[in-house]
Structure 1
Amino acid sequence: MNGFPTRAPVELEDRPREQQWLVDTLWGEQAVGIVGGEPKCGKSILAMDLAVAVAAGVPCLRHFAPTRPGPVLMFPAEDAGHLVRKRLHGIARAAGARFETLDIAVIDVPRLRLDDPDDRGRLQQTVERIAPRLLILDPLVRLHGVDENAVADVAPILGFLRDIQRRFATAVLLVHHARKSGAARPGQALRGSSELHAWGDSNLYLRRRDRQTLLTVEQRDARDLDDIEIEFMEEDGEEPSFRLRQPPQAGVAPQPETPERRVLKALAGARAPLSQRQIRQRAATRHKTVGAILKKLVQEGRVERNAEGGYSLVASQPDKAAPAANGSDPDAGRFPVPTAHA
């Protein structure tokens, strides 16, 4: 027995930036990770959007370009074949890709279990044959019979998928459910063991807020993006696909409408002071969050609270300061008031 082989740091691979990404700033080259979110928030659609991007060489969400397109292997455990076909067709059409030539291989079996040695062996053989750039397994809960809360049960499954990633130089994407909770970070809301959050190199999380869908991007070895606001689009009876809600500027992800912004818009659109309950309803934001935001805005002098407990934006007071030399109000811009929705 001779022990493990070693290399000096200078002998390790050096990878230029364009080779660090499978899909630019969204998913790392040969990264393992999770597309997560609450049920019915579009996780499978986002995973398929990534699949079409990699397979056809078109931008994911019509913006994030794949750097090295190639084959995709996927197993949609919950959807019938005709639904998978319809969804991929709709996404391909929205992305401007030819559906007939999509380089996607769909595993066509009723059952695949990652805790079954025989199924593991067959999956490895399939990955070796297809040589995918991306492997998608959707969703994790249908791919095993173990206790997701037990590290001892979950770790071998994640270790097996990491082994596939390393042996076959492929990225691995798991679709997984999140609990409905107020976790500070979306990854902490994933159902089951914290190993799932820690395992990912690239993680994408979807959250519904009122009529908005926010995409949070987490990377192990790169700067995270700001939250991205996306929306469903439907054309000519096709299955819906995602797109960015606002056109990106200079390669920067669009900023989401934050809870504070929604509170300010609710106040700006009111003709009379609003109670905290009314603000919570109009801003579609949790009671505790609204309370913290209102306290902050009052302390900053941007919102005032009357004797009856109603809140309103602080009115401009031009008589408190003389106009500037150029005739502008010196307080202009200090407390910007967002315009209300039409």
Structure 2
Amino acid sequence: MIWRPTMNSLTTTTTRMTTPMNNLAQQLHQIGLRALPVHVDDFLARATQARWSPHQLLEHMAQAEAEERSRRSLEQRLRVSGIKKFKPMADFDWTWPVKIERDIVERALTLEFLQEARNLILLGKNGVGKTMIAKNICHTAVLAGYSVLFRTAPELLEELQKQSPEGRRHKLSNYANVGLLCLDEVGYLSYADKAADLLYEVINRRYERKSVIITSNRAFKEWNQVFPNATCIATLLDRLLHHADVTVIEGDSYRMRESEKGCGRPAEEEVMSTLAPHAQSVLSLVQLVEQGSPPAPSLVEPGLLPAQGILFVGGEPKVGKSLLVPNLALSLAAGSQRLGFPISAPRRVLVCQFELPLPHFVSRLTIMRRALGTAADHRLLVDTRAAGHLLSAPQGLEHFLLAAKAAAAEVIVLDPLYSMHDQDENDTHAMAAFCQSLLRLRDASRAALVLVHHTRKSISRQEIGSAFRGSSALHAVGDSYLLLTRPSPQLPALELRFQFRYAASQPPRRLEFNPQTLWFSPAESAPTPRTVGRKVETTQVRQTLAQHEGQLRYNQLREEIMQGLQCSKRTAQLAITQAAQQGEIVQENGQYRLPLPEQEPNRSSPAGGGRPNQDACGCAG
């Protein structure tokens, strides 16, 4: 009997799979993970520092991957939807239309009609806001997890008409099964004879199954002019209107109003009302002093949080920013000075975003509350539905604004951990939309904002330093900045540094953290740190590795260098990086080790002599 070698391919595949890869991040990416490969070093550091159990480690991995997959899914749905740019409903002027059924629009924004497979029809002349409303509803549906297609009627009909019969069946199937279909501008153009049949086919396939949004500038009785010679108009409208909410928006074109103002052609009464204030816009110093009113007192002295101001809280990762800010929120709500800052009066504080899941965040607040009693109970409010909303997204801004108005908030606290990590905080262009949203939220809510500024963790090890990081866009909107940092690894106290736009600079303050109460408090005295080395040589990094069997993880290596050589964290970080760049040590699978003999870098002695000549066996000649 002759056996054929049928297992060759399997043997080859197994060998290839078990070959160790040079980078742990690549291995994680290869098995389909997306969040961990980007932040693997930081994830391992957090796991080591917090001493996670295997079960906790898997929980955090699953949570990180689930959040990343949710974010990528949202980006994909937004890209496919075709919604493109639009103004948020926060910018919609409800007083401009002469007639608008606001209750129908606001109910549609809750997406109830999708659950009932009802249609929504928006009728009105050009420029009254039909498309803006439709796009906001579509965007809300995308955020809620629905698949959405936003198309103008001419685009959809042209796309169907140019398809082959097989391609048309495929397109009709897509239009029939998407979660929400929006057809904009029905009635702006006239169409060929078969266009009405194609539109009927789309509506009929979705009838009593999926919702449709239609915007049109034509009354239904005029649709025969839009689809001349069509025989199915009555049946099409019957299917469309059977389960539908129809609202008519009446008024002048808002775009025309803005265009007239932009071209300098406002109505006569608007010209007069515009000129009147300018008659007194140029004032002398005496007039300014006489008419000027003192600025509103700061919510947190000295000038730390101006009324309707923006306070950024920054610092290196894992130093306690997301603990300091709840301390500040509770102090503001209680009118307490536990942090050592004068607070003039209790304030209504709304916490809109926080880095922890809601049950964990409530547990943290419960522990902090024990130190205050009931003083903050009725003034500290938490938005329990903030998860999934991005401040830079129009619908997210709308959500936060409605929450702020419902809470009558005087201070809004935002800790946007994941959304900030998705952006480059040193890229002005990337942060422009985020900063504009901050200003809109502040102006519309008339509240002060406290924002935790999480720097991108991939740069924090080498670049965080002691500066306030961030693009010029961030610094342009902030009124004051707090930097929480650890001045020395040998000191238990943390240091709080300040920058102000409108107030004099303050000296740094030392804070101590109590892990039992989760409160920061002013340090009574500043202990003198032990003298630390100014520079660590790469050879000392090698020696540290050699003392620990030649292999350590990054955090372990850094801590050993800091403890053994009495240097700062940054000095140790720079020394490790320099040693790796020079080939003195090798990074592999998330660890640092000494190089193998054949990987040793060439070194020349100061006198010009090299290593002793060696024969092929590595023996000295």
User: What TM-score results when the alignment is normalised by the length of structure 1?
Assistant: 0.65
% identity of equivalent residues: 27
Using the TM superposition, give the Cα deviation of residue 45 of structure 1 relative to its aligned residue in structure 2, in angstroms: 1.1
71, 74, 79: which one aligns with 2:351: 74
Which amino acid is 1:243 matched to?
A: S
The answer for the alignment partner of 1:293 in structure 2 is none
Q: Secondary structure at the match of 1:28?
A: coil
Count of residues in correspondence between the two structures = 256
Using the TM superposition, give the Cα deviation of residue 115 of structure 1 relative to its aligned residue in structure 2, in angstroms: 2.3
Using the TM superposition, give the Cα deviation of residue 57 of structure 1 relative to its aligned residue in structure 2, in angstroms: 1.0
62, 82, 105: which one aligns with 2:381: 105
493, 498, 503: which one aligns with 1:212: 493
Using the TM superposition, give the Cα deviation of residue 163 of structure 1 relative to its aligned residue in structure 2, in angstroms: 2.6
Report whether the alignment pairs 1:42 with 2:317.
no
Q: Deviations over 1:298-329 (max 9, x none)?
A: xxxxxxxxxxxxxxxxxxxxxxxxxxxxxxxx
Which amino acid is 1:101 matched to?
A: D
- Segments ≥4 residues shifted beyond 3 Å: 1-13, 143-150, 180-185, 261-266, 277-288
Distance in 2, Cα, partners of 1:285 & 1:144: 23
Structure with the bigger percentage of strand: 1
Structure with the bigger percentage of helix: 2
The answer for the alignment partner of 1:244 in structure 2 is 522
Report whether the alignment pairs 1:262 with 2:543.
no
Distance in 2, Cα, partners of 1:171 & 1:278: 41
Equivalent residues of 2:511, 2:521 under 8 A apart: yes
Structure 1: gaps (5+ residues): 247-253, 267-276, 289-342
Report whether the alignment pairs 1:230 with 2:514.
no
Q: Secondary structure at the match of 2:437?
A: helix
Equivalent residues of 2:493, 2:523 under 8 A apart: no
Distance in 1, Cα, partners of 2:410 & 2:319: 26
Report whether the alignment pairs 1:86 with 2:390.
no
Which amino acid is 2:321 matched to?
A: K
Q: Deviations over 1:144-203 (max 9, x none)?
A: 96554432231222122123223332111111123234667521xx2x534223431011
Which amino acid is 1:174 matched to?
A: L
Which amino acid is 2:377 matched to?
A: T
Going from structure 1 to structure 2, the CA distance change for 1:284 and 1:116 (only over 3 Å counts) comes to closer
Q: Deviations over 1:228-276 (max 9, x none)?
A: 11111133xx5x2211111xxxxxxx7x56xxx636699xxxxxxxxxx
Equivalent residues of 1:113, 1:120 under 8 A apart: yes
Which amino acid is 1:156 matched to?
A: A
Using the TM superposition, give the Cα deviation of residue 207 of structure 1 relative to its aligned residue in structure 2, in angstroms: 0.7
Distance in 2, Cα, partners of 1:136 & 1:212: 25
Q: Deviations over 1:97-150 (max 9, x none)?
A: 417724122111221112221221121122122121211110254269655443
Equivalent residues of 1:262, 1:283 under 8 A apart: no
Equivalent residues of 1:90, 1:241 under 8 A apart: no
Distance in 2, Cα, partners of 1:160 & 1:263: 45
Which amino acid is 2:522 matched to?
A: L
**Superposition pairs of residues 1-342 of structure 1, within 5 angstroms:** 1=266, 2=271, 7=281, 8=283, 9-10=288-289, 11-15=291-295, 19-25=296-302, 26-61=304-339, 63-94=340-371, 96-98=372-374, 101-109=377-385, 110-139=387-416, 141-142=418-419, 146-178=423-455, 179-181=460-462, 186-187=467-468, 190=469, 192-208=470-486, 209-210=488-489, 211-235=492-516, 238=517, 240-246=518-524, 262=529, 281-282=565-566, 284=568
Equivalent residues of 1:69, 1:133 under 8 A apart: no
Q: Secondary structure at the match of 2:471?
A: coil
Q: Secondary structure at the match of 1:262?
A: coil
Q: RMSD of the TM alignment (CA)?
A: 3.2
Distance in 1, Cα, partners of 2:318 & 2:466: 20
Distance in 2, Cα, partners of 1:195 & 1:122: 23
Equivalent residues of 1:114, 1:144 under 8 A apart: no
Which has the bigger relative contact order, CA under 8 A and spacing at least 6? Answer: 1
Distance in 2, Cα, partners of 1:126 & 1:287: 45
